[in-house]
Structure 1
Amino acid sequence: MGRKKLTAKQHEFLQFLIDHTRETGVWPTYREIIDHFGYNSPNSVTQNLKALHRKGHLTRDDQGYHLATRYQEQEEPGIPVKGIISAGTLQEAVEADLGTITLDMLFPNLDQIFAIRVSGQSMRGANIRDGDYVLLIDEDIPEGGIGAVLYDGETSLKRVHHDDEGLRLEPCNPEYDDIHIQPDVFEEVTILGRYVGHINDEGIHKKSGQGTPAVR
């Protein structure tokens, strides 16, 4: 079952289950969960358990619910959040364990994202270079957006444009020519995914609102 993004409340609920089972070695009772969160009825517990199970964070058998294997073995890897710092006037530093920043926080719909390694320099102008790992999501590519397409048995990462002459695949490097695909062969074009970012030695580059990569 694929992992899906949790709401803030669901994440807090899951973290309580993880912390309780690690500290006590047993699954918390309904009463312990209700007392911890201040719920008015057991139905709130059931709804949260079902949501976490549906999103792939819990498993279920005849004995009840259990943490998914990755939570039983170790915490989900991420960047530790070690405190709070002021971005206004000088204030006393606040040190605290505020959890971690995980990939599903950086990339919503993480379960739909996959990576492909780039070969060539046609997208150099978008800061996507040979050897980078481009991150794609299984969605249509908007007009002028960057994405991966499959045509005539070959794949290409380009900016995608539609006009009266058909489909135009535009490189981000003047040394490369546009690729034109006539309307009568549109059915032979397969959209592999929409660009959402890429990874290289400099770090994670996430697509900004303007469609250009921004270093994270």
Structure 2
Amino acid sequence: QGVIEDGALEVSLSIDEITLKDLFPGLDKTFAISLRGQDVQGIDTMGDGYLLLQDGDIGDGRVSAALHEGAVVLCRVYHGEDGLHLQHTDGTESQVDPEHDDFKLLGRYAGHINRHGLFQAPGTVYTEHALNGATVTTT
């Protein structure tokens, strides 16, 4: 409903949305994917919410999100001569061809938002310093 600046509240009816850049000015190449009735294997999105991802190279062992056979999964990604090796959060592993129609690597996992708040992936840097897995929640 407004902005507090220099100890005073300035009412502003024009503020009707908050972006990721508003919350975390240091974000770089981070985007959100809306999840509608879609669970994500490995995190509790409650069938709704947002998945926070980062663009860029996905190095070996990085936790990433992928659309695999119609399901959104979090997994560690390893690059090999015969495609990508995925280690899923449930302990299973799979080998995929990144060019196959039923697979799309979405980005590096940065966190997620559900009805309980915003959850950051451990070690993700949103500002000049890492928050070490801190959780920002709403009340």
1:103 aligned onto 2:23: yes
Partner of 1:162: 79
1:1-216 → structure 2 map (5 Å cutoff): 73-75=13-15, 102-105=22-25, 108-109=27-28, 112-117=30-35, 118-119=38-39, 122-123=41-42, 128-131=43-46, 133-150=50-67, 154-159=70-75, 160-163=77-80, 166-174=83-91, 177-181=92-96, 185-188=97-100, 189-209=103-123, 213-216=133-136
Q: Percent identity, aligned pairs only?
A: 25
Unaligned segments of structure 2, at least 5 residues: 126-131
User: What is the identity, as a one-letter code, of the residue corresponding to 1:114?
Assistant: A
- Structure number having the greater helix percentage: 1
Shift in CA distance, 214/161, structure 1 to aligned 2, threshold 3 Å = farther
AA aligned to 1:199 is: I
> Between Structure 1 and Structure 2, how many residues are aligned?
112
Deviations 1:143-170 (A, max 9, x none): 222222245x634322212245531222
Unaligned runs of 5+ in 1: 1-14, 16-21, 23-70, 79-100
Taking a change above 3 Å as real, the CA distance of residues 213 and 140 of structure 1, as seen in their structure-2 partners, is farther
TM-score for the superposition, normalised by structure 2 = 0.56
Q: What CA RMSD, in Å, does the superposition of the two structures yield over aligned residues? A: 3.6
Task: Determine if contact 2:45/2:114 at 8 Å carries over to the other structure.
Answer: no
| Structure with greater Cα Rg | 1
